Amino acid sequence: MKKPLMITAACLVLLGAVGYGGYRFGVTRGAQSPQAPASAGAPSGQKAGDMDPQTGKKILYWHDPMVPGQRFDKPGKSPFMDMQLVPVYADGDGGGSGVTVDSRVAQNLGIRTTEVKASQMGPVLEAPGNVAIDERSVQVIQARTSAFVQHVAVRATLDPVRRGQTLVTLYSPDWVAAQEEYLAVSRLPAGAQSDLSGAAKARMLQAGMTPGQVSAVESSGKLQPSLGIPSPVDGVVTEVAVRDGMTVSPGMTLFRLADLSQVWVIAEVPEGQARTLAAGLPAKVLPTGVSDPIVGKVDTVLPDVNPATRTIKVRIVLPNKGQHLLPGMFATVRFDSGPEKEVLQIPVESVIRTGQHSVVFVDAGKAGFVATDVKTGREAEGMVEVVDGLKAGQKVVTSGQFLIDSEASLRGTAERMSVAPAASAPAASAAPAPEHEGVGRIEAVTGAGLTISHGPIPSAQWGAMTMDFAAPPAGLPKGLKAGDRVRFRFHLNNDGMPVLSAVEPAASVQGGKP
């Protein structure tokens, strides 16, 4: 029994010695090993200017995506964040004006292109619009004499009214005096009241009584101390300025009424396509919730351009039988803008409108994606006419343009579409901080900026997260609120804080919730 126990003890002592030796060997190796490389597979001793064995591209430098302005000449751990530095490669075109994107990155980011083709452009022009009150039908009801308000029958705006319906009941001392004078004259002998009776009626009318009220006094032969003011139209009340017990004076506005038997439809047409429209042009209006379009004609093209949307208002007058068209209702307006002809066309989503010009990204092969100014014309069925700037056979980017634009900003591309160099800028001025593009949802609006939940931002090497963004120098656009989906552009200041440079509503966000 003793011999097996001794053998077991000896084995345990031997295993302990081997384990301790392995531990000491590991500690010694760990203390002597260099810092981990920036990326998997990066050889030790790699420096700027070397070729990456994995991609075959020349490495310009390493940087921290969160602080892209700081460059490093070798891989390692970022001094700013708990992450490894990322290599930045030289462009394959030797400093051309295009933006090159790796094919795998383009596939992951969903960058798609389409060919510029010449085809028949339909004559129909579609534009969004909304129903509005016909301002020519607005009626103003005013007091014609001093009076006391006894009862207001219509108390709220947008209440419907009918022609002849009593709006308010008034007691006017001037009306009472005019009636008493008429009744006194009516009691005179028939020969003596012929001239006086006509004068008494005229005085009642001058005091503000309607012909119907004068006839009521004449037929009843009794004093009417309280008289009502009727509605002259069928429509809605747009303003109520009186309440029970008030005192009104001559010229005071009591009500504003709008006749809805006829309405306006205001269509927003892009300024580049408005040249084909004129008064009298046929138009079909399809309001929301209405199955059949309503046929009308262009009343006028208003001489005003919206500076925010670069659209021109076109007014169509429509009959409104049954008052089914309500002010504020959305509608789609289709104009017959002319004969069909063959033109160069590209998808509408490929055009980036900056407010001053329109830009598309052209796939130039090895030169990368080049930002090109274009002039656009009519739009129909998701396609837009290209008047100048492109040729048939060229390929334009239809998805991922903003990501390419962000990459252009990061690399300092000369063809920066939204920032033009100032002619008077000094040569020694500091380079602007690179900008990045993102899409997200506003979580909070503060005086200092916005809190945004956004998706991945490849140009900044960011994943999906929620961050605080400082407001741009010009301030935040009006109307932003929590829950809005926006497309935003930003840069990082010297402290690494993201600062917004532009914010605009995002009509749709692919992929659902950011």
pLDDT in tens, 266-304: 999 888 778 778 888 888 898 887 878 888 889 999 998
Quick one: pLDDT band at residue 119, thresholds 50, 70, 90? confident
| Cα torsion through 298, 303, 309, 313, rounded to 10 | -20
Say yes or no: domain 435-505 is CATH 2.40.50.320.
yes
Distances (CA, A) of 138 to 8, 156, 240, 297, 335: 108, 17, 14, 22, 28
Beta strands in 271-404 (DSSP E): 282-287, 294-306, 311-319, 330-336, 341-347, 352-353, 358-363, 369-380, 383-388, 395-399
Quick one: pLDDT band at residue 256, thresholds 50, 70, 90? very high
What residue type is assigned to position 209 of the chain?
Answer: M
Fold of 124-134+260-336: Elongation Factor Tu (Ef-tu); domain 3 (2.40.30)
Lowest mean pLDDT among 86-100, 288-302, 330-344: 86-100
pLDDT at 132: 93
Q: Do 163 and 141 contact (CB within 8 A), yes or no?
A: no
Task: Kindly report the CATH number that applies to the domain delimited by 107-122+341-411.
Answer: 2.40.420.20
Lowest mean pLDDT among 169-173, 223-227, 243-247, 421-425: 421-425
Phi, psi of 251 (to 5 degrees): 90, -5
User: Across the strands, what pairs with 306?
Assistant: 311
Quickly tell me which residue has 């010297």 as its tokens.
494
Higher confidence at residue 507 or residue 244? Answer: 244
- The domain segmentation of the chain, as residue ranges, is 107-122+341-411, 124-134+260-336, 144-251, 435-505
44: Cβ contacts below 8 Å, ≥ 6 apart: 34, 37
Phi, psi of 139 (to 5 degrees): -115, 135
Token representation of residue 54: 């994995």
Percent of the chain with pLDDT over 90: 13
CA nearest to 169, candidates 96, 211, 226: 226
How many CB atoms are closer than 10 A to CB 93? 15
CA nearest to 124, candidates 407, 430, 379, 434: 379
416: Cβ contacts below 8 Å, ≥ 6 apart: 371, 408, 409
Token representation of residue 486: 């926006």
pLDDT tens string 411-464: 554 334 434 443 333 433 345 678 888 889 998 887 778 888 888 888 888 878
pLDDT tens string 477-507: 878 888 888 888 888 887 777 888 888 887 6
Asked whether the CA dihedral 489, 491, 495, 496 is positive or negative, the reply is: positive
pLDDT tens string 162-206: 998 999 999 888 888 888 888 887 777 766 666 777 788 888 887
How far is the C-alpha of 90 from the C-alpha of 101, rounded, in Å?
12
Higher confidence at residue 227 or residue 63? Answer: 227
pTM above 0.75, yes or no: no
454: Cβ contacts below 8 Å, ≥ 6 apart: 438, 439, 440, 441, 462, 464, 465, 466, 467, 488, 514
Q: Is 208 exposed, middle or buried (0-12, 13-18, 19+ CB in 10 A)?
A: buried
Phi, psi of 348 (to 5 degrees): -60, -35
For the chain, how many residues are written? 514
Is 80 exceeded by the pLDDT of residue 38?
no
